[in-house]
Structures are given as structure tokens and as C-alpha cells.
Structure 1
Amino acid sequence: METELQGKGVLVTGGAGGIGSATVRAFAEEGARVAVHYRSSEASARALAGEVGGVALRADLTSEAEVDALIPEAVRALGRLDVLVANAGHWAPLDVPVWKMPLSRWRQSMAENLDSVFLCCRAFLRHVEVTRGGSLVLISSTAGLFGEAGHSDYAAAKGALASGFVKSLKNELGRIAPLARVNVVCPGWTEVDRNRARLQDPAFLSRVTRTMALRKVAQPEDIARVIVTLASDRISGHVTGEVVTVAGGMEGRVIHEG
């Protein structure tokens, strides 16, 4: 199906990562011009931007000033900016229950997974207020829907995106751009670098897929294709404020016994 994304300008935050890089390539395949945002992965971001004919742009998304500068920079580099994919985030690998969690870790998680998305959306919507159109896709997580023991900080931040934030934002958009849209994607287990080694273990794979109707983990391209679909006004022009879970039918309970 035609997406009508040809020639559109797209900014993907965290664009050099697993889901991010698949998303950049998916938009490029539709003929969009893509800005690959990065904070520390400069070599990967520049290589990917070169591959797809896009641009690599650096910013610390926890810095208000740097985010406020990122959107105008993307507009200048691409010639226009129609889509924001707020993909960047951070999952702290150390398992820490609430009663042992330092306030510093909680605040860092909020800064990297919630404040950063707020800042990106705010800056992008200042642009939308001028152009009178645009689409936002925010990347949350199944942790935000079902929780994640030992990672309540991450789950709380991602849960906020998939509930009060998107529901408020979709109503506010009508004040500045009646046809602008915002939606959320919640990936589940996905074969990205930080998970790949563990997912090669059959016992581990069996355990994590016990709550999933489809007993397999996603590839980054599975997530990317949904993001592109939601960004397309042609395909999803009457969809806003929705949360789409891409997790093989995951539930908050065990479906398979073994």
C-alpha cells in the first residue's frame, strides 16, 4: 500500500540503535528523508545516514537547550520536518527493587525515558504550530503496560507515555493542527544487541515467550513497519491517541505451560 511518505522529512531519535536503525531504513525505503539522531553512537549514526541518504544529528535529549536546537537543525538539514519518532531511551541493566533503588537512578530513568520525550514533543510541536501538520510516534514498551520487576523506574516512565501523556497530547494537537496525530508503539521482546545473546539460549527463549501467543521474539523490522504505518497519513490518517502493542500477543499472565 502506498504510504505517501515520499519526500517527507522524518526525525528518528536514537536512530543508530536496533529498533531505531530499522526504523530509519524503513522510512528511507518509502522515499522519506531521514535525520538519524544520536548522542554517543556517532560512527554508527553517520554510517547509517550515509547509507540512506539522510543526515546524522547529535543531541543530549535530557538537555532542554540541545533538544530545542535539534528540531530547527533537522528542518534545515532535511528541508522540512513532518514526522517525529521518539525512539531514544535507556534501560538500566541492573535489577533493583523499589526499596533498594537510589533516587539518583529513578531520576535518571525519568530524564532519559520521559523528560526527553516531553522535550522532543514540545520542540516538534512548536514546529507543527507553524506548519499546521505533522505526525508523532512515541516508543514505549510492554514494561509500561505490564510492569517489570526490578525496573519500576523504566516501567513507570514508559507507562506514562502510553497512558496520560499520549491521551492528553492527542487532544491538545487539535488546538494547533486539526489533522496532526500522535500514537504510541509498545514493543515487547525484540532481538536487538542487548538481548541477542540471551535469546540464543533455548531455555531463556522458552521462558520469555510463555506469556506470548506467538512463541517468537520480534525482529527490529517488525517494530519499524508498525511505526511507518502509524506515521503515514495515507494509511493511519484517522488513528490518533492509540497504543499499539507489537509483542506477539503478550499478556500479563502465562499462556503456555512449557
Structure 2
Amino acid sequence: METELSGKGVLVTGGAGGIGTAIVRAFKEEGARVAVHYRTNEDKALALAKDVGGVALRADLTAEAEVDALVPAAVKALGRLDVVVANAGHWPSADEPVWQMSLARWRQTMAENLDSVFLTCRAFLRHVATTGTGSLVIVSSTAGLFGEAGHADYAAAKGALANGFLKSLKNELGRIAPLARVNVVCPGWTEVDRNRAKLQDPAFLNRVTRTMALRKVGQPEDVARVIVTLASDRVSGHVTGEVVTIAGGMEGRVLHEG
């Protein structure tokens, strides 16, 4: 299907990560020009940008001034900016229930997963106010829909993105760009470097897929293709304020006994 994304400018935050890399490549396949944002993974970001004929841009998304400079830098490098995918985030690996969690960890997780997206969206929408058009896709998580024991901080941040933030933003967009759109995707278990080793264990795989209608974990490309679809005004031009779950039919209950 023709997406009409060819020639469009796209910024992918966290573009050098597992899902981010798939997103960047998926937009490249549609003929878009892509800016690969990174914070620490410079070598991978530069290599990916070179491979797709794009540009790598560094910014700490928790630093207001750096985010405010990121969007103009993307516009300058790409010649235009039509789509932003707010993909960057951080999952704290330590399992800490609320009664053991420090305020410092809570605030850090909020900064990396909620504040960063607010700043990214704000910077892009200031650009949208000058162009009158734009598509924004925010990457949340099934943790924000079903919760995640030991990671209430992460779940709270991702839940905010998929609920109050999204619903408010899609209505506010009409004030600056009546046809601009914003949507959220919520990936579930997705095979990336961070969890690949664990997912090779049949017992672990069986346990994590017990709440899923499809007994398999997703691939980064599964997420990327949905994001491209939502970003395309031709394909999804009448879709805004929606949450698309990419998790094999995951529910908050056990679907399979074995």
C-alpha cells in the first residue's frame, strides 16, 4: 500500500535501540528521510544513519534546552520535519515494589519516560504550529495498560502517555493544525538485545506468553510497521487519539494453562 511517506522528514528518538532501529529502517523503506536520535549509543546511531542515508542527532531528552534544540536541528538536517516518533525510554531493570522504591528512582524513571516525551512533543508541536501539519506517534507499553509488579514507576509513566496525555493532546492539536494527528502504540514482549537470552528459555517463553492469544513474542519489525501505518496520512489520516496494542492479544489474565 502506498503510504506517501516518500520524501517526508522523520525524527525517531531512541533510534539506535532495538525497536528504534527497526522503526528507522521501516521509514527508510518508505522513502522517508530519517534523523536517528541518540543519547549515548553514538557509534550505532552514526552507523545506522549512514546506512539509511539519514543523520544522527544527539540530545539528552531530560534536558529541556537540548530537546528544544533537537527539533530545529532535525528540520535543518532533513529540510523538513513531518513525523516524530517518540520512542526513547528506559526500563529500570531492578525489581522494586513501591514500599522499597526510592524517590530518586521514581523521579528518574518519570524523567526518562514521561518528562522526555513531554519535551519531545512540545518541541515538535511548536514546529507544527508553523507548518500546520504533522503526525506524532508515541511509544508507550503494555505495562501502562496492565501494570507491572516491581516497576510501578515505569508503568505509571507509560500509563500516563497512553491515557491523559494522549487524550488531551489530540484535542489540543486542533488549535494549531486541524489535520495534525497523534497516536500511541503499546508494545508487549518484544525480542530485543535486552531480553533475547531469556526468551531462548522455553519455560520462560511459556510463562510470558500465557496471557497472550498468540503464543509468541513480537519482533521489533512488528512494532515498526504499525508505527509507519499510523504515521502515514494516506493510510491513517482519519485516526487520532488512538492506542494500538502490539502484543499478540495480551490480556491482564492467564489465557493458557500450559
When normalised by structure 1's length, the TM-score is 1.00
Distance in 2 (alpha carbons) for counterparts of 1:15 and 1:43? 12
Tell whether 2:210 aligns with 1:196.
no
Distance in 2 (alpha carbons) for counterparts of 1:158 and 1:197? 25
**Residue 244 of structure 1: aligned partner:** 244
Question: Any stretches of 5+ residues in structure 2 without a counterpart?
Answer: none
SS of aligned partner of 2:190: coil
**Residue 99 of structure 1: aligned partner:** 99
Distance in 2 (alpha carbons) for counterparts of 1:50 and 1:17? 16
**Residue 18 of structure 2: aligned partner:** 18
Distance in 1 (alpha carbons) for counterparts of 2:67 and 2:186? 23
- Aligned residue runs from structure 1 range 125-204, under 5 A: 125-204=125-204
Distance in 2 (alpha carbons) for counterparts of 1:228 and 1:234? 11
**Residue 231 of structure 2: aligned partner:** 231
SS of aligned partner of 2:107: helix
Q: 1:194 deviation in Å? A: 0.5
Q: 1:109 deviation in Å? A: 0.3
Q: 1:248 deviation in Å? A: 0.1
SS of aligned partner of 2:110: helix
What is the RMSD of the two structures over their aligned residues, measured on CA atoms? Answer: 0.2
How much identity, in percent, do the aligned residues show? 84
Q: 1:220 deviation in Å? A: 0.2
Q: 1:241 deviation in Å? A: 0.2
- Aligned residue runs from structure 1 range 45-60, under 5 A: 45-60=45-60
Distance in 2 (alpha carbons) for counterparts of 1:67 and 1:177? 21
**Deviation sequence 1:133-186 (CA, Å, 0-9, x none):** 000000000000000000000000000000000000000000000000000000
SS of aligned partner of 2:118: helix
**Residue 34 of structure 1: aligned partner:** 34
**Residue 256 of structure 1: aligned partner:** 256
When normalised by structure 2's length, the TM-score is 1.00
**Deviation sequence 1:36-59 (CA, Å, 0-9, x none):** 000000000000000000000000
Give the count of matched residue pairs: 258
**Residue 73 of structure 1: aligned partner:** 73
Q: 1:74 deviation in Å? A: 0.3
Matched to 2:208, the amino acid is V
SS of aligned partner of 2:194: helix
SS of aligned partner of 2:245: strand
**Residue 216 of structure 1: aligned partner:** 216
